[in-house]
């Protein structure tokens, strides 16, 4: 898309609330399917299991059901007969389920009827309900939009939940400078310019921008960098920029390049390629072979962009394609983005949904949440007919300000696009199930090897990084039944002023105290955000990098905090830091040495290496920030004259950071020893 600056009240099947889990239970969509198929994703709808189901909800006998029915009946008496959204709450005022209806009173009456047969999951929800809140809306369309917003915000345990809902990146060609810049953009589209997207991933945007720079030579530097130039930068030398900063190209010429790039991203790629091909032939006929070679390279860059995009439809200019595949009680929704007749990537989602939900039900709820904060395209293609496609289309049309079509095509190229997306959904879910099953077996093996009471549902790994005590930072990575959980990662800038430089114990103490004090006494906004999350907040196992000394230090920290239920382990590097020869330490146990090819040891190495990668990356960002603020003054032996020579030669501090020792040595006045010191300053080995 290019930009310039559910419910039938008479149909109880239409909206099936999702089966929830106890707060300390593993997230159902993350449970390895081959470990316990009977409990992988919820209870079968077997009435013989109803007493067990109610007991799982903390209920005994029929009393909770009667209490729940009573709460709903009280709500029915005051419920409007107009459209609205209702929320079912438990005794702790946690939202269990959010639903919408054209007639709220009639919809709630369906839940209140004792004689009506209800699926087991709905009985569990009713048994846990103590109150119902209702918000009236003007139209059912407004109710649909509000419902989707509340589900994403409140994450009710009985609803289908869209997870990993990150914002999508766009390409922006700015419009607030005489020499427009091309860059990746996320968030609000408030800066003047032309926005092209969405793209499925940041990687897809970065690759496209790099190719567009080669094809159209548009600058990517910031305005401040642009204004400070006195000579062209490295990108001009390698033919990825036309050099407007130093007037290597005039204003009309650069404007032409920007127009060509805009036309290409707007879907006029064939016309742009024909124009460039004509210019190449003209230059060649006039024996201007250097110019002809430049046009040739630009054409090759455009071809590279389109070859990376794979399938490019002929008759579909702007559409999102959704295909859902279910297997083993899990769901995968594959989304393809087509804009200006080009494929701008795809992404797989794995919504949390109880396994008795049909594909149509999961897809319908997924779509409403997906477009809650995203601009919809003119056409939405689906693999399954959803019941409320017309209502969804009306809601999205009102939100977008133009007509939106939602359809499940039956033939032609649109059907081929859906089939292609469905194939990708099937393959993505297959990989997910395989990875989840492998992860489950590893966690079981780890529990057996380390004598843990049960396979860990949440593992936290901690590491520190610093250079002689400066720019100290700690980091926590998290893993669970579904692998690394990156949205749970945390970094801690070490703040204690009394620490001795290089005091690893003191740094670890600060990190762990900050982490677990916040967990013991969470701020209100944090508690509200996480209490209904489907991933446990308390770790079963904490791993630290180090030997017995580090382990004992952490034990003291935990004792001071009153933590006794969290298992601890430290991982000491092998002799000469060889991988495969690590020693594992646990409280009140002999040191553990695993065979180098043991899968559990390999898994522990992966956890430790991921923590090391994350903390090193955090440390480098912090250090580079300090370096940019301090300039070159802190490097021993680099005075004002050499600093000026370096900046004159490379242009910016960032280019000096990127330079090799050989390149640094070519600067007048910089000796081989000075070049080495400069390089080591920008590329240190953290401790």
Q: Which fold has domain 6-15+43-154?
A: GIY-YIG endonuclease (3.40.1440)
Query: Residue 569: how many CB atoms within 10 A of its CB?
Result: 22
Q: What HEC string does 367-410 produce?
A: HHHHCCCCCCCCEEEECCCCCCHHHHHHHHHHHHCCCCEEECCC
d(CA 640, CA 637): 10
Sheet holding 84-89, edge to edge: 95-101, 84-89, 131-136
Q: Cα–Cα–Cα angle for 496, 492, 556, nearest 5°?
A: 65
Block means of pLDDT (10 residues each) for the chain, 687 residues, are 44 38 34 33 41 44 72 88 91 89 89 74 85 90 88 86 77 90 86 84 80 84 84 85 89 88 74 74 73 72 57 75 88 88 83 84 89 86 90 88 90 89 90 84 91 91 69 84 87 71 75 86 57 73 88 87 86 69 87 86 88 77 55 65 74 73 82 82 64
Q: What is the pLDDT of residue 401?
A: 85
Secondary structure (3-state) at 669:
coil
d(CA 480, CA 463): 18
Q: What is the pLDDT of residue 363?
A: 92
Superfamily of domain 459-622: UvrC, RNAse H endonuclease domain (3.30.420.340)
Query: Residue 634: how many CB atoms within 10 A of its CB?
Result: 10
Superfamily of domain 631-682: 5' to 3' exonuclease, C-terminal subdomain (1.10.150.20)
| Fold agreement between 6-15+43-154 and 631-682 | no
Rg of the chain's alpha carbons, rounded to an integer?
Answer: 30
**Residue 546, both tokens:** 């180090």
User: Do 185 and 172 touch, CB atoms closer than 8 A?
Assistant: yes
Residue at token pair 């400066």: 470
Q: Identify the helix (H) or strand (E) that includes residue 460.
A: strand 459-467
Structural domain 319-431, CATH architecture = 2-Layer Sandwich (3.30)
* pTM for the structure as a whole: 0.66
User: Do 382 and 371 touch, CB atoms closer than 8 A?
Assistant: no
**Residue 532, both tokens:** 């209904």
Distances in Å between the Cα of 338 and the Cα atoms of 318, 369, 376, 380, 394 are: 5, 20, 12, 10, 21
d(CA 209, CA 193): 16
Would you list the DSSP string of 267-313? Answer: T-HHHHHHHHHHHHHHHHHTT-HHHHHHHHHHHHHHHHHHHHT----
Q: Identify the helix (H) or strand (E) that includes residue 542.
A: strand 541-545
* Domain ranges across the chain: 6-15+43-154, 170-266+268-308, 319-431, 459-622, 631-682
Distances in Å between the Cα of 203 and the Cα atoms of 1, 483, 612 are: 18, 21, 23
User: Do 169 and 199 touch, CB atoms closer than 8 A?
Assistant: yes
Q: Cα–Cα–Cα angle for 179, 181, 184, nearest 5°?
A: 170
- Phi, psi (5° rounding) for residue 135? -120, 120
Q: What is the pLDDT of residue 334?
A: 93
User: Do 226 and 245 touch, CB atoms closer than 8 A?
Assistant: yes
């Amino acid at each position: 898309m290019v930009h310039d600056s559910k419910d039938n009240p008479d149909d109880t099947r239409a909206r099936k609330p999702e089966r929830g889990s106890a707060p300390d239970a593993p997230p159902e969509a993350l449970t390895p399917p081959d470990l316990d198929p009977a409990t992988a994703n919820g209870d079968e709808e077997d009435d013989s299991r109803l007493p067990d189901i109610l007991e799982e909800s903390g209920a005994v006998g029929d009393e909770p059901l009667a209490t729940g029915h009573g709460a709903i009946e009280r709500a029915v008496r005051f419920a409007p007969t107009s459209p609205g959204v209702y929320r079912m709450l438990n005794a702790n005022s946690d939202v269990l389920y959010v639903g919408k209806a054209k007639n709220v009173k009639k919809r709630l009456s369906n839940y209140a009827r004792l004689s009506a047969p209800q699926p087991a999951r709905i009985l569990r929800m009713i048994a846990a309900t103590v109150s119902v809140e209702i918000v009236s809306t003007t139209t059912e369309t407004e109710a649909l939009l509000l419902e989707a917003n509340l589900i994403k915000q409140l994450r009710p345990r009985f609803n289908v939940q869209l997870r990993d809902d990150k914002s999508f990146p766009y390409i922006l060609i700015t419009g607030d400078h005489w020499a427009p810049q091309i860059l990746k953009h996320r968030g609000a589209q408030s800066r003047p310019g032309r926005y092209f997207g969405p793209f499925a991933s940041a990687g897809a945007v970065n690759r496209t921008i790099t190719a567009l720079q080669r094809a159209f030579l548009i600058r990517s530097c910031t305005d401040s960098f642009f204004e400070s130039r006195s000579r062209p930068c490295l990108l001009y030398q390698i033919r990825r920029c036309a050099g407007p900063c130093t007037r290597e190209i005039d204003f009309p010429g650069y404007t032409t390049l920007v127009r060509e790039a805009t036309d290409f991203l707007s879907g006029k790629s064939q016309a742009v390629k024909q124009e460039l091909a004509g210019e190449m032939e003209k230059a060649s006929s006039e024996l201007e072979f250097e110019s002809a070679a430049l046009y040739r390279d630009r054409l090759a860059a455009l071809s590279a962009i389109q070859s990376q995009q794979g399938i490019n439809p002929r008759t579909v200019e702007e559409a999102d394609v959704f295909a859902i595949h279910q297997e083993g009680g899990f769901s995968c929704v594959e989304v393809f983005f087509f804009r200006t007749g080009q494929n701008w990537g795809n992404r797989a989602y794995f919504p949390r949904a109880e396994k008795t939900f049909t594909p149509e039900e999961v897809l319908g709820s997924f779509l409403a949440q997906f477009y809650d904060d995203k601009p919809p395209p003119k056409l939405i293609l689906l693999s399954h007919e959803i019941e409320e496609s017309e209502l969804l289309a009306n809601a999205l049309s009102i939100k977008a300000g133009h007509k939106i079509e939602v359809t499940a095509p039956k033939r032609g190229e649109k059907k081929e696009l859906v089939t292609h997306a469905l194939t990708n959904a099937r393959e993505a879910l297959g990989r997910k199930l395989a990875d989840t099953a492998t992860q489950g077996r590893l966690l079981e093996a780890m529990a057996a090897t380390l004598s843990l009471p049960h396979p860990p549902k949440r593992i936290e790994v901690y590491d520190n990084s610093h250079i002689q005590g400066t720019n100290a930072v700690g980091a926590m990575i998290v893993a669970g039944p579904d692998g690394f959980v990156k949205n749970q990662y945390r970094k801690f800038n070490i703040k204690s002023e009394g620490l001795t430089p290089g005091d690893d114990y003191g740094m670890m103490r600060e990190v762990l105290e900050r982490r677990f004090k916040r967990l013991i006494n969470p701020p209100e906004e944090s508690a509200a955000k996480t209490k209904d999350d489907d991933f446990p907040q308390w770790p079963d196992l904490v791993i630290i990098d180090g030997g017995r000394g580090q382990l004992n230090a952490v034990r003291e920290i935990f004792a001071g905090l009153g933590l006794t239920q969290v298992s601890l382990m430290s991982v000491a590097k092998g002799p000469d830091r060889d991988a495969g020869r690590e020693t594992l330490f646990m409280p009140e146990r002999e040191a553990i040495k695993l065979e180098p090819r043991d899968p559990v040891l390999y898994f522990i190495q992966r956890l430790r290496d991921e923590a090391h990668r994350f903390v090193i990356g955090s440390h480098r960002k912090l250090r580079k920030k300090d370096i940019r603020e301090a300039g070159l003054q802190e490097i021993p032996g680099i005075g004002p004259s050499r600093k000026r020579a370096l900046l004159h030669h490379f242009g910016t501090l960032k280019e000096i950071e990127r330079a090799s020792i050989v390149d640094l040595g070519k600067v007048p006045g910089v000796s081989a020893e000075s070049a080495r010191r400069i390089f080591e300053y920008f590329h240190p080995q953290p401790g």
